[in-house]
Each structure stands twice: as structure tokens, then as C-alpha cells.
Amino acid sequence: MAMKIRLARGGSKKRPHYSIVATDTRMPRDGRFLEKLGTYNPLLAKDDESRIVMNVERVQYWLGQGAQPTDRVARFLEAAGLKAKTERNNPKSAVPGKKAADLAAKKAARNAAPAEAE
């Protein structure tokens, strides 16, 4: 059984509140889970202590059982010192899309045309 430590969304529209849960990967995001490990409230200030609350012992237990944290939960664990910091690499994030590249090429051609006329 593949296990994940992930966020389950709660709260009303535009007022999110998340539970950090250990669950089977086949279950829906807000569906059945095995254990609630903590909470995350993104509406609180970043330096607020109650923004992220985790039961560290249970998180370590599930990591020992082979549960894989999602990207966001992995960042929480890195901040808490429970997981080694991993280097993230997304080379495509800096590359503009097709439409933006076309616009940049047109703008460069337009700027080069007056320079050639002189």
C-alpha cells in the first residue's frame, strides 16, 4: 500500500484550512485518511507559531513506515528539521511560453529595424 503525508482541505470558500494527514494514495484529497498529523492555516502570518502545527512523533513514525510527503508537506518538514533539504530544479519555469517567445521575437525585430535604417 503506497502511503502519502499530504494536505486535506477544509474551511469555506476563500477561507482555506488544511489538515496534514497520513493516507493511502488511492483515497481522494479530502476523503478517508488513516491519521491526522497536524494542521496548516495559510491565512495566518508566516511567523505565527500556530500557522503550522504537527505531531512530530507521529510524522516520524509514518516516514519510518515508508510514507512519502507531498512537495508542500516536504517543505514543512524541512523547515521543522525532520527531513533533509532537497535541491529543487525546475528549468522550464524560467523559459517563456510559446506566445511570450513570439511576442519577444516581434519586439526584438521591431527594435532592430530602426537601427538598420540609420
- 3 strand-pairing partners: 24
- Give first-to-last CA distance, the chain, whole Å: 70
Partners of residue 9 on adjacent β-strands:
18
Share of the chain above pLDDT 90, in %: 63
d(CA 114, CA 117): 5
| pLDDT at residue 92, rounded to an integer | 77
pLDDT grade for 86, boundaries at 50, 70 and 90: confident
Residue 5 pLDDT: 94
Chain segment 17-60, per-residue pLDDT in tens: 999 999 998 988 888 899 999 999 999 999 999 999 999 999 99
Domains in the chain: boundaries: 3-89
- Are the C-beta atoms of 5 and 62 separated by less than 8 Å? yes
Task: Give residue 35's pLDDT.
Answer: 93
Architecture category of domain 3-89 in CATH: 2-Layer Sandwich (3.30)
Its pTM stands at 0.72
Cα–Cα dist 47/110, whole Å = 48
